Chains A and B, each alone.
Chain A
Amino acid sequence: MSAVFDVISPRIRPRPKPRLLNGVIPFVVLLAGLAIAPLMLTPYSTVMLMPALAFGIALLGMNLLFGYTGLLSFGNAMFLAVGAYVAAAATQAGVLHFELILIAAASLGGLFALAIGALCVRFTHIFFGMLTLAFGMLLHSFLFKFYNLTGGDQGMRVLRPMLLGQDWDMTATQFLSGPFYYYCLIVYVLLGLLTWRIVSSPLGLQLRAIRDNESKARYLGVRVYRLRLFAFVVSGVFGAIAGAMLGVSTGLADPELAYWPQSGNLIFMMILGGAGTFVGPGVGALIFVLLHEVLVSSTAYWRFMLGATLVFLVLVLPEGLIGTISNHLQRRVRGDAQ
């Protein structure tokens, strides 16, 4: 009776993992690379690498939102700003424990995301993108215009925080390339593992089901609204944590962090590495930061080169670097097996 199906089956070999390079191992490799990088780089270059950690953390959340849940936000840079301004306000008010700053940033980012997400995740596709962009710009114009509170276009200074209750008596470069770099890396590791747990949980699976087919997911009992909101809140929390780190590493919280092209850059990094693969966005952040450094130091027209890279990626490698390599490997593995 089911003979029809039995005849088909032997042709396709079962694969235990649906996609190669999509596990947690490549991510661990990336982190290991970031851990040994300072040993081989000058302190100055290590500081240059700092944004890759921060963006990597923000992208863990954005990837959960887009790569896994299918919602492309054009406003996530606002959470970077939330984190950076929290760091600025806290350090200026004398709260120097970075642990407290991170907790405050994460809480505020989460609250922002909860309030904004409650409205936004009712929409998908372009409307979600536009609405998040609108909220991002609301924050930007608030930061920009309320000079007395936020310093306007000057931004607010972020003072050097204490790490683990310790004051570090060293130059800024030493601090940022040493203790601060490794502190952020450890936070990245922890949040990476947390995200990995989420994506490999039943909830993570349901997020992917929503991405693939929202209506079907509903009929299987998946609480679409609640889960989308969850993903958005995670992206907000991670974004704010990343923002606090960026604020410390540049010593400044400025409104440009919330400006919508900054969200565009985050998406750029995510697609560059490959959205939906676990390690992709982290790799994308690293490559973006390196590319940015190289281009800025070699040409005045680095924006043009970045834009051209993005156009090239969308047209030629839509699955991003990791997605493309993964597909290529997969074809070879299958080719060898036959």
Chain B
Amino acid sequence: MSAMLSACNVSKSYGSYQALKNVSLEIGGGEFVSIVGPNGAGKTTLVNVLTGLAAPSQGTVHFMGNSIAGVGPVKLAAMGMARSFQLVNIFPEVSVWETIAVAVSSRLRRASNPLRTLTKDPQIEDEVQHIAGTLGLHHKLFERAGSLSQGEKKLLDIASAFALRPKAILLDEPTSGVSSGDKYGIMELLVKAARSEGVSAIIQVEHDMTLVARYSHRVIALQEGRVIGDMSPDVFFKDSLMLEAVIGPVHSSQKKNEGEHQPC
């Protein structure tokens, strides 16, 4: 199993605060990896470093053999990695069809010519229809994204990421804010779509341990900026110390450092 995404001795500090301490990990094709840990463990920082949004203070990050340290989102998309965020992240005034078309057209470099047609471009049309179908949005194509339900917005967010045809996708709590009934529907569609679209690695940050147990092949546990465990879910869920380190503090003392990780 060759590493698709690798971080080597990565440290990241913000001023005097060290968010990541000497983290090393490798993620290969075909893996579904969950990153878990209490609030403030450095999950978001790790994801930011792994997606090239933040450059590591020390260490290296490589994706498919190229360094992605601080490359930024546009290059990241071109290199074949997509990212979706915890909060619903869509274009509210744009339709479902158009949202997906944004990704398709950017991948196909259709924006270089301002006079090119959008609606009569068969390749865009085909790909949009295809992705929408894969994620169960085909009957919502002309809805305004802002008028969709919470679950549909999540799906649209994921669909637009898949439209980039990424090799790897990084999801920050893909089902947060969605009712528990819809969660599994979204996850099933996500896994199925990843398989059919050739997305080989899925990395997610997840608080919901049932989802972690059900979908991931591998769990990476963080605590205070260090990797404290990297194992299969079976091993993880049997390790009571590990579980306590990850889940325990979530219920008792959750605060500071990472405001973006408020539980929903």
Contact = CB atoms under 8 A, between A and B. Distances in A.
Interface of A: 1-5, 8-9, 12, 14-18, 194, 197-198, 200-206, 208-209, 211-213, 215-224, 227, 230, 276
A223 B111 contact: yes
Contacts of B140: 9, 14
B144 interface: yes
Contact of B77 (A204, A205, A211, A219): A219
Given A2-B189, A8-B149, A219-B73, A14 B102 contact: no
Given A201-B118, A202-B121, A203-B114, 10 more contacts: A3-B185, A14-B141, A15-B142, A18-B142, A201-B110, A216-B90, A216-B160, A219-B73, A220-B160, A221-B74
B74 A223 contact: yes
B113 A218 contact: no
Most buried by B among A197, A208, A222, A230: A222
A211 B99 CA distance: 13
B113 A5 contact: no
B34 to A, nearest CB: 21
Contacts of A222: 74, 102, 106, 111
Interface residues of B, number: 60
Contacts of A211: 93
B102 A205 contact: yes
A117 to B, nearest CB: 15
B74 A205 contact: no
Nearest to B135: A2
A202 B110 contact: yes
Given A220-B160, A221-B103, A16 B118 contact: no
A3 B181 CA distance: 11
B181 A230 contact: no
13 contacts: A1-B188, A5-B149, A5-B155, A15-B142, A197-B114, A203-B110, A206-B102, A209-B98, A213-B91, A216-B160, A222-B74, A223-B106, A230-B114
A201 B115 contact: yes
A2 B183 CA distance: 11
A211 B77 CA distance: 19
Interface centre among A9, A15, A220 (most CB of B within 10 A): A220
A4 to B, nearest CB: 5
B226 interface: no
Interface string B155-180: 10100110110000000000000000
Contact of B182 (A4, A200, A219, A230): A4
B127 interface: no
Nearest to B179: A4
A197 B116 CA distance: 8
A12 B145 CA distance: 13
Contacts of A224: 74
Contacts of B119: 200
A18 B145 CA distance: 10
B148 to A, nearest CB: 9
B136 interface: yes
A234 to B, nearest CB: 8
